Amino acid sequence: MNLAMELCEMFPKDLGCSGHTLQLAIKSGLVLPDVARTVDIARRVVSHFRHSALATCALKSRQEQLGVNANKLQSDCAVRWNSTFIMLQRLFEQRIAVQAVLADISVTKPSVQKALAMRASQWELLEQLVPVLQPLAKATEILCSELHVGLSFIHPVIINMVTTILRVEDSDLTAVRAFKNTVRGQLETRFKLNSEGFTESIPIVACMLDPRFKHLRFIPDEKREAAYSHLKTLLPEDEEAPSETGAGDDEPGHSHSEGKKARLEQDFEQLFGPIYSSGKGDVRHSNAAKELQQYLLLPHIPTMENPLQWWSRNQKHYPRLAKLCKAYLAVPATSTPSERIFSLAGNTITRQRTSLHPSHVDVLIFLHENMGIKTPKTAQHDLEWDSE
């Protein structure tokens, strides 16, 4: 992703992978002594159950006796921190069944019991640490997803983590306090939340161009005004004014009569000048400042809505902002999707398939990544097939 930013002339400033940056910040908290010792002993407990068929069977039997979900313990991966969260969450969920199996001398040898014994303080640490890690794991998953406009998610999510999730509470253990303070400091530093160029950063511009977060309610008023001023400087002044007909909410494919009506309205507007009114609301903006002002006066859309669809419907209302939106909202927040492609390619080209032609490899990877996407025709065909 760093190489892509170097090749992009429009964005001279550095924009690293937010997923990797978030992982580095969280890992700085996981390596703290008390937390690291708890994670290490948890990892050894999980490894014991993963490698011992006897312990696994005994755990399943205990789960049935206790009436809990028969979920298997999950091991973690060194390069994916959220797998560590899943491991700790699953272990804490099954703690009663796990402790019962480890305490059974007919299943676990005394030497193994001693090596895998977790103190009450470590279980208490897991109890407080798992709820803190959960929203961080969700943030990592959403930022690394391919189904969202991720760049505008960065600052709203990170600032919410810093101000709410990682806020120290009176009931927090010492280790949890240290974890929160460390991760919060790392997030503020790595994402440059307190830097002078914060209001001119690429993610902040993306937030203003995203109709879900354009009001910038997550930053102070003075920074908000500075960000809007910077956005105003990015807007071109010579953009052609949009026509009032054919606004984004209209369906594609206008009829011939609608085209004649549009031309007639343009003629009327030229004849009547400023007193002309189409009855559709003033959507024309003589300059960039007015266009930005009108855009900001609109209410924000729900967070679950797709901002690209909103811009597809409203780009003719705000042509300068729409042009800027195409450049900024297209920037991925992380390099994770491209890394998944490399992993998929490695699984496709095996020792038994080394003679695959490069074009065939491209087609196989494309089909694998897009097999779940259905066009309207295929969706209709599926409905007809189901009805039969």
pLDDT (mean) for 35-39? 96
Write out pLDDT tens, residues 203-242.
Answer: 999 999 999 999 999 999 999 999 999 999 998 866 554 4
Range of the domain at 130: 18-146
pLDDT of residue 388: 52
* In-domain check, residue 102: yes
The dihedrals phi and psi of 305, each to the nearest 5 degrees, come to: -80, 160
* In-domain check, residue 277: no
* In-domain check, residue 348: yes
- Give Cβ neighbours of residue 122 (< 8 Å, ≥ 6 apart): 37, 38, 41, 42
Q: How many domains does the chain have?
A: 2
Candidate from 31-35, 178-182, 192-196, 237-241 with smallest mean pLDDT: 237-241
pLDDT of residue 240: 52
User: Percent of the chain beyond pLDDT 90?
Assistant: 55
Average pLDDT of the chain is 83
Residue 254 predicted with pLDDT over 60: no
pLDDT of residue 210: 94
* In-domain check, residue 177: no
Query: d(Cα 310, Cα 306) in Å, to the nearest integer?
Result: 7
Top-ranked range on mean pLDDT: pick from 186-190, 282-286, 331-335: 186-190
Residue 177 predicted with pLDDT over 80: yes
pLDDT of residue 250: 43
* In-domain check, residue 194: no
Please say which residue of 114, 129, 146 terminates a domain.
Answer: 146
Write out pLDDT tens, residues 290-326.
Answer: 999 999 999 999 988 999 999 999 999 999 999 999 8
Q: Do 361 and 349 form a contact (C-beta atoms < 8 A)? A: yes
pLDDT of residue 11: 59
Could you tell me where the DSSP H helices lie in the chain?
2-7, 18-30, 33-51, 53-66, 81-93, 95-103, 110-116, 120-143, 154-160, 174-190, 202-209, 221-234, 256-272, 288-297, 307-314, 319-328, 336-348, 358-370, 376-387
Please say which residue of 103, 119, 146 terminates a domain.
Answer: 146
pLDDT (mean) for 109-137? 94
Write out pLDDT tens, residues 326-353.
Answer: 889 888 888 777 777 777 778 788 888 8
Q: Do 340 and 348 form a contact (C-beta atoms < 8 A)? A: no
Please say which residue of 111, 146, 181 terminates a domain.
Answer: 146
* In-domain check, residue 239: no
pLDDT of residue 351: 80
Q: Which residue has the higher pLDDT, 251 or 113?
A: 113
pTM of structure: 0.77
Kindly calculate the radius of gyration of the chain based on its CA atoms and give it in whole angstroms: 28
pLDDT of residue 238: 62
pLDDT of residue 338: 74
pLDDT of residue 248: 44
Q: Do 108 and 122 form a contact (C-beta atoms < 8 A)? A: no
* In-domain check, residue 294: no
* In-domain check, residue 98: yes
